[in-house]
Structure 1
Amino acid sequence: MSTAARTTNKMSGKVDEDLYVGVDVGSGSVRAALVDGRGRAIHTHTHTITIANPQQDYYEQDSEEIWQAVCVCVKAVTKEVEDKSKIRGIGFDATCSLVVVAPDFTPVSVSPSTGEDRFNIIMWMDHRASGEADFINSHPHKVLSFVGGKVSPEMQTPKLLWLKKHMTSTWVKAGHFFDLPDYLTFKATGSTSRSLCSLTCKWTYLSEQVGTGDESQSEGWDEEFFRLIGLEDLAEENWVRIGQEVRAPGERCGGLTHTAAHMMGLCTHTPVAASFIDAHAGCLALAAAGLTDGQVLTGRLGLICGTSTCHMALSPGPIEVPGVWGPYGGAVLPSTYLAEGGISASGALVDHIIRGHPCGGGGGGSDGNIYKRLEECLEEEARREKLSSPSLLTRHLHVYPDFHGNRSPLADSHMTGMVCGLNLDLSERSLALTYLATLQALAYGTRQIMAHMTRAGHALTSVLMCGGLCASDLYVQTHADALGMEVLTPQQQPSVLLGAAMLGAAASGRHASLEAAARAMGGPVRRWPPRPEVKAFHDKKYQVFLEMQQHQKRCREAMKAPLN
C-alpha cells in the first residue's frame, strides 16, 4: 500500500446494526471512519492531500482532489458492509478553508502566482489577508464583538476582501464561496445550504441567539457591516454567493445524490448532515466523552490538537472574552454558546522545530519514530542529571511559540516566535531539549487562554484533549502539569472523526437530537492528573513565557519609528 493511503480495522465480529460514516478533512489528509452506534470506530482510512505553498503565507488546495480523496476513504471503510442500508447517515467536517467555484461549480483559481484553476481553496492557515484583517478591525462594528473583538486573517471576510482587491478576475468569475465543510455537503447532496457552524464562526453570520439588550441581533447577515468593509456587492446580490439557506449542525441537509453514492459505494439518499468545522466536531466528541449521568456538556474545555490547536468551551449563556472568538450561539449545539480560542501553529510548530535541526531527519512526517527517540533521550538525560522529572531539563531554555502569529488571547497575527537559551550544541540532546521546551510553551499558551476565559466568566470544570499531538504521552502530561489541572483523553479516538459520525447519527433520525447522539456515542476517558512535584517549576516558566511575550511587544514598539 502506498504511503498516501492507509486503512485500519479496529474491530472484528458482530457490530451494532446502526452504522455511521464520519469524514474529516484536515490540513494534510482526508480521513473517514465507519462508526457503530456506541461510538466505536470499526474501520478508518486516511489519504494524503496536496498543500501548495507558492510563497510565504500563501497556502492553497484543490477542491476536486479533496473530493476524490473523500470518496476513496468512504469506499474503503464501508467496503466490508454487505448491506449498505445499515449505514444510516454520514457527517462531514473540514478545515475552515475558503473554496471558490464558478456558477457551474467548476474551480476558480485563487493562486496569483500560478493562475492554475486547480488551486481554488485558500486554506485556513493562509495569512495573505493580514492587511485586510487589520483594515476590517480598524472599523469598529458590533459584529466584531462576536469574534473576540477582531477578525483573524484565518477567517473568511478578510480572504473575500483580499480576492476582491487583488484577484478581480476571480472575484468576478466566482459564483459561490463555500467554507470547505459546506462544499463537501454540496458535493454529496447538491444542496448549497450552509451550516450555522461555519457561517457564525468564520463568516460573521449572526445566529438568532447572539446578544442581549441593546446589542441583540436577529439572525442573518449584517448588511451594514458588509457595506462598511467594502463587500457591499455580496449584500446587493442577496447573499447568493455566500449562503441564503442555513441549517443547524446535524440537521439533515439532503441525501446522497446518485453520483456521490456511486463514487462512495453507498446507497442513494443516505442521509447527510449539515457539517462542522473540524475542531467543532472534536469539541462535540470531547464534550460528550466520559460523561456521567446528569453531567452537562458545558464548562468542559476541549483542546483539538493538530496543525493548530483549538480551545473550545460551551456555556449556557453568552460570555464575551477579548481575543477569544465568540460567543457563537448554536454553532455546536442549540441553546449553548461556543467560545473558541486557539494557537495558530502547534503540530506545525513541533514539526518546524524538528525539521530545522540537523538531527531532525526531515521532521516527524518523514520519520514517525523521531518523537519516541527524543522522549527516550529526555528520560536518559534526566537520569544522568539525577533529576526527578525530565520537565526540569529546560530550566534555562525557553520557547515563545507564536511562530505563526497569536490567535488567542492577543489576536495579533504579527507576533512571532522566540527562543532564549541557545548554544552551539547540535546534538540530538539539544533537539530533545528544544522539543520539550516547545511542548511546554504550547501548554503555557493554553494556560494563558484559560486564564482569560476564566476571568471573563467561564467556569471551566475539566480539560479534554484529542488530536495527533496527543499520541505523545509527554505532550498530554506536560499540559496537565503546566495547567495544574487533570486532563482527560478519550479512549475512543479519533475524536474529530467521531464528532463527524455523531452528525450522521443525528441526521439519520435514530436519535432525538445531536446532543442525544453525542451522549450515546461519547465513550470512556483516560485521566492524567497533574504532578505536584513540578508545579513550582511550571509556575516559574509560565512567568518567563509572559515576560517574553511582553518583551517582544516592547521590541516591536521600539522599532516602529522610521530608521532614516
Structure 2
Amino acid sequence: MPGGGQEPGSYYVGVDVGTGSVRAALVDQRGVLLAFADQPINQWEPQFNHHEQSSEDIWAACGVVTKKVVQGIDVNRIRGLGFDATCSLVVLDKQFRPLPVNHEGDSHRNIIMWLDHRAVSQVHRINETKHGVLQCVGGVMSVEMQAPKLLWLKENLRETCWDKAGHFFDLPDFLSWKATGVTARSLCSLVCKWTYSAEKGWDDSFWKLIGLEDFVADNYSKIGNQVLPPGASLGNGLTPEAARDLGLPAGIAVAASLIDAHAGGLGVIGADVRGHGLACEGQPVTSRLAVICGTSSCHMGISKDPIFVPGVWGPYFSAMVPGFWLNEGGQSVTGKLIDHVVQGHAAFPELQAKATARCQSVYAYLNSHLDLIKKARPVGFLTVDLHVWPDFHGNRSPLADLTLKGMVTGLKLSQDLDDLAILYLATVQAIAFGTRLIIEALEAAGHSLSTLFLCGGLSKNPLFVQMHADITGKSEEEQRRSLWAWQQICPAKNRTGLEIAGYK
C-alpha cells in the first residue's frame, strides 16, 4: 500500500466488502493486526436469481467500521487506506447518483451483485460468438461477469437506467472513486471481470459484436479508460468529504483496489513460512494454490507463463501478483450452500436451540455432534450412503455450466439432528470434491501444485479444512501438524488463514 514514512507508530487501514458484511482492519507497518470491526450490509432479492445491493448502504457501512478501528489512536499516524470488494456492478448516472438496476425503479438498489444470474440469455449469446476474448475466461464467459449484466441492462432497463448511465463501476473501483474522486479503474477488476487485457487494452470488436458498441463510441469512458495496477496511489489521496465519512485524515494515500478474493489470494499465496517446518518451505510460489472460501470459493494459482485451462478463468497477467499470470477457479456458492442446506432442514430449530444453550455457533455444535455419532470410524465415513452434488447455483469451474442444479441422494424418512449433521458433512465433502476437480483441471493443463492455502470465513471451520485435506489426499496427522504450524504464524489475534501443506 502506498504511504508516507515507516517510522514506528505508522498505521494502515484496510476495508474488505464481502457479500454480507463490510470489515475493516487497522494494522501497523509490520502487518500486525491492531483492531478489527465488521458491519452487516443489506441485500435484496426482488425475484429469483436477481440479487441487488446499495452503494450508499455499503459506503455508510465502510464509515461505521473505519471509525471503530481507529478509536483511541492518533489518526495522524495513519499513512494509507486500501479497499477490496466483491466483483459486483455499480451503476451511477452522469452526476454520480445511483440508478435503479431493477424493474421497480428503486434507485437505492443500484448494484447487481456478483452472484446475480439474471443475464442467462445474454451470456449464452455472448458465448455463441466464440470471440477471442473468451479464451481468457476458460473458453466460456460466466453469467457472473460484467458484460452479460451490462447487456441485460441495455435490453431490459433502457429508459430508467441504460440511457441515463454515466458510470459503470466494479464495486472495488466504486469505493476507491468514492474515497478519492478518481475514476481510474484497477487492472485487477477490469482484467478479471470486464475482458480488459493488461497487454492490449479493450477489444473494440468484442463490444461491437455483442451489441455494446456504445462503449467503443465514447472511448470506454463509462467503464474505464484509465487503468492502474493494484496498490498504485490514486490522485491526491482521501478527499475531505470522504475523510469525514470514514473518520480518517484527509489526504492520506488511497490504493487502487482489488477484488476481495484476489486480495485474499495475494495475502496468503505470498505468506512467509520459513522456519515453521512446513512441506512447502523452499518450494516456488507457483506451487501454491490459494483457496479463498466464504460465501463462494475462489481457487487462485499463478504461473510465470500463461496457462490456458478449460473451464477455469484466466490466464490474467498481473491481475493479482505483479509479473505473474493468474488462473482463477471457483465454486459459485459454498458458504451460502452450507447455510442453505442446514437452515432448510427440519431439525434446524432444534439445532439452534441446543447450540444457543451451549453458547456455540450452529456449526461448532454440528462438528461436535458428528464426533459423538462417528463411533470408531473416521468421521468422513458417516456419509457412505449419502451424497450431495453441490452445484445448486450452477458450476463455475471446471464444468463452466450455469444450468447445473444440485442433488442429494441417499435420503431417509427420518429428519432428526443426526440426519442434519450427516447432510451437513456430505455438503462439506461435496465442496471439497469440487476443489479436487479444479486442482485436477489446473494440473492437467500444466500447473504444478503442492500446497493449498485456505483463508476466509470457512477456513475457521475445522471440519471444512479437514475434509479438504482428506479429499485432496492429505492424511489427518499431517494436516494437524500443518494446522498447528499455521497457528504459530497467525496467532488467534491475527488468524487470517490456514495452510494444508502438500496435498499430495
Q: Do the structures match in fold with TM over 0.5?
A: yes
Match of 1:360 among 345, 348, 353: 348
Is contact 2:469-2:500 (8 Å) kept?
no
1:378 aligns with 2:351: no
Query: How far 1:471 moved relative to its partner?
Result: 1.5
- Whole-angstrom distance in 2 between the partners of 1:221 and 1:362: 54
1:275 aligns with 2:257: yes
* Paired AA for residue 65 in structure 2: C
2:198 maps to 207
Match of 1:342 among 330, 333, 339: 330
1:150 maps to 140
SS, match of residue 304 in structure 1? strand
- Whole-angstrom distance in 1 between the partners of 2:292 and 2:126: 28
2:184 maps to 193
- Whole-angstrom distance in 1 between the partners of 2:137 and 2:304: 18
Q: 1:300 to 1:54 in 2, by over 3 A?
A: same
- Whole-angstrom distance in 2 between the partners of 1:93 and 1:145: 26
Q: 1:436 to 1:524 in 2, by over 3 A?
A: closer
Match of 2:456 among 467, 472, 485: 467
- Whole-angstrom distance in 1 between the partners of 2:419 and 2:272: 39
1:131 aligns with 2:106: no
Is contact 1:89-1:272 (8 Å) kept?
yes
- Whole-angstrom distance in 1 between the partners of 2:387 and 2:282: 43
SS, match of residue 36 in structure 2? strand
Aligned residues: CA RMSD: 2.3
Is contact 1:290-1:523 (8 Å) kept?
no
- Whole-angstrom distance in 1 between the partners of 2:429 and 2:496: 29
2:31 maps to 39
* Paired AA for residue 252 in structure 2: T
Match of 1:249 among 230, 233, 243: 230
SS, match of residue 328 in structure 2? strand
1:259 aligns with 2:241: yes
2:111 maps to 121
- Whole-angstrom distance in 2 between the partners of 1:356 and 1:189: 43
- Whole-angstrom distance in 1 between the partners of 2:57 and 2:441: 40
Question: Deviations 1:203-233 (Å, cap 9, x if unpaired)?
Answer: 000111xxxxxxxxx2x11000100111001
Question: Deviations 1:408-453 (Å, cap 9, x if unpaired)?
Answer: 0011000110111001111000000000000100000000000000
Query: How far 1:35 moved relative to its partner?
Result: 1.1
Match of 1:227 among 208, 211, 227: 208
* Paired AA for residue 232 in structure 2: E
* Paired AA for residue 136 in structure 1: I
Question: Deviations 1:365-400 (Å, cap 9, x if unpaired)?
Answer: x976211221122111112xx32x111111010001
- Whole-angstrom distance in 2 between the partners of 1:523 and 1:166: 42
Is contact 1:94-1:276 (8 Å) kept?
yes
Is contact 2:230-2:256 (8 Å) kept?
yes
1:162 maps to 152
1:484 aligns with 2:478: no
Is contact 2:13-2:81 (8 Å) kept?
yes
SS, match of residue 125 in structure 2? helix
2:379 maps to 390
2:92 maps to 101
1:556 maps to none
2:172 maps to 181
* Paired AA for residue 339 in structure 2: D
Is contact 1:405-1:414 (8 Å) kept?
yes
1:74 aligns with 2:74: no
Match of 1:290 among 257, 267, 272: 272
**Counterparts of residues 369-448 of structure 1 (less than 5 Å):** 369-383=361-375, 386-387=376-377, 389-448=378-437
- Whole-angstrom distance in 2 between the partners of 1:315 and 1:17: 37
Q: 1:40 to 1:361 in 2, by over 3 A?
A: farther
Is contact 2:27-2:34 (8 Å) kept?
yes
Question: Deviations 1:147-202 (Å, cap 9, x if unpaired)?
Answer: 11111110000000000011102110110000000000000000000000000000
Query: How far 1:87 moved relative to its partner?
Result: 1.3
1:322 aligns with 2:310: yes
Is contact 1:253-1:274 (8 Å) kept?
yes
SS, match of residue 175 in structure 1? strand
Query: How far 1:18 moved relative to its partner?
Result: 2.4
Question: Deviations 1:206-262 (Å, cap 9, x if unpaired)?
Answer: 111xxxxxxxxx2x1100010011100110011010001000001111300001112
- Whole-angstrom distance in 2 between the partners of 1:473 and 1:289: 21
* Paired AA for residue 90 in structure 2: V
Query: How far 1:33 moved relative to its partner?
Result: 0.3
Q: 1:528 to 1:298 in 2, by over 3 A?
A: closer
SS, match of residue 197 in structure 2? coil
Is contact 1:63-1:121 (8 Å) kept?
yes
Q: What percentage of aligned pairs have identical amino acids?
A: 49
Query: How far 1:138 moved relative to its partner?
Result: 0.4
Query: How far 1:36 moved relative to its partner?
Result: 1.7
- Whole-angstrom distance in 1 between the partners of 2:211 and 2:105: 25
Is contact 1:43-1:77 (8 Å) kept?
yes
- Whole-angstrom distance in 2 between the partners of 1:279 and 1:119: 23
2:3 maps to none
Match of 2:443 among 428, 448, 454: 454
1:238 maps to 219
Q: 1:461 to 1:46 in 2, by over 3 A?
A: same
Query: How far 1:363 moved relative to its partner?
Result: 9.0
1:91 aligns with 2:77: no
TM-score, length-normalised on structure 1? 0.81
- Whole-angstrom distance in 2 between the partners of 1:23 and 1:105: 22
- Whole-angstrom distance in 2 between the partners of 1:363 and 1:283: 34
Is contact 1:355-1:362 (8 Å) kept?
no
2:277 maps to none
Q: Structure 1 unaligned runs (5+)?
A: 1-14, 209-217, 499-521, 533-564
Query: How far 1:523 moved relative to its partner?
Result: 9.0
TM-score, length-normalised on structure 2? 0.90
Question: Would you say how many aligned residue pairs link Structure 1 and Structure 2?
Answer: 476
Query: How far 1:362 moved relative to its partner?
Result: 9.8
Is contact 1:354-1:363 (8 Å) kept?
no
Q: 1:475 to 1:200 in 2, by over 3 A?
A: same
1:332 maps to 320
* Paired AA for residue 285 in structure 1: G
